[in-house]
């Protein structure tokens, strides 16, 4: 009888632990779902920021500059980080998208930033679009 009670008690504890693990897993899945839904929306809104940035550069209208600043504040509040490589930085295919290669001494380095990229944590929303130096092979 004691063995049966002990077996039932162990089974109950295992079932309770499994249930608690399931609750944690479901909560984590919910958070991931919300994060991916937000990333999908942000991926659609980031080109709008590009246009607003361009308008702000070519306009003296303080309203446009204020809209760009507010847009960036919203992105920052959602933990969105810009990917802005500097010329000379190493090209990283996970963070950067090469639009063009240019001859250069330093092989596989950023020559020019075309469009900044964006990410949340380790998830890339849009890679930074760049031009990359490639060392020319000498003909023999």
Torsion angles phi and psi, residue 111, rounded to 5: -95, -40
- Chain mean pLDDT for the chain: 92
pLDDT band at 138 (very low <50, low <70, confident <90, very high): low
Q: Which candidate, 75, 71, 89, 63, places its Cα nearest to that of 119?
A: 75
Domains and CATH numbers, the chain: 1-78 (3.90.20), 81-140 (2.30.22.10)
pLDDT band at 24 (very low <50, low <70, confident <90, very high): very high
Q: Which candidate, 99, 92, 96, places its Cα nearest to that of 82?
A: 96
At residue 139, the pLDDT reads 47
Torsion angles phi and psi, residue 103, rounded to 5: -65, 140
Q: Measure the CA–CA gap between 117 and 130, rounded to whole angstroms.
A: 10
Task: Put the strands of the sheet holding 109-115 in their side by side order.
Answer: 96-103, 128-134, 109-115
User: Can you read off the two tokens belonging to residue 138?
Assistant: 């000498």
Give pLDDT tens digits for 106-123.
899 999 999 999 999 889
Q: Measure the CA–CA gap between 9 and 108, rounded to whole angstroms.
A: 62
Q: Report the Cα 127 to chain-centroid distance in Å.
A: 8
């Amino acid at each position: 009888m004691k063995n049966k009670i002990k077996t039932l008690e162990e089974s109950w504890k295992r079932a309770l632990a499994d249930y608690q693990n399931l609750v944690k897993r479901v909560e984590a899945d919910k958070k991931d779902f919300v994060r991916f839904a937000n990333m999908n929306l942000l991926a659609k809104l980031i080109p709008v920021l590009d246009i607003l940035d361009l308008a702000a550069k070519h306009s003296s209208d303080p309203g446009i500059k204020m809209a760009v600043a507010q847009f960036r504040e919203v992105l920052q509040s959602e933990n969105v980080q810009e990917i802005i490589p500097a010329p000379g930085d190493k090209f990283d295919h996970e963070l950067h998208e090469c639009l063009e290669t240019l001859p250069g001494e330093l092989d596989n380095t950023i020559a020019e930033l075309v469009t900044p990229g964006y990410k949340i944590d380790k998830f890339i929303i849009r890679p930074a679009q760049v031009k990359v130096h490639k060392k020319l092979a000498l003909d023999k």
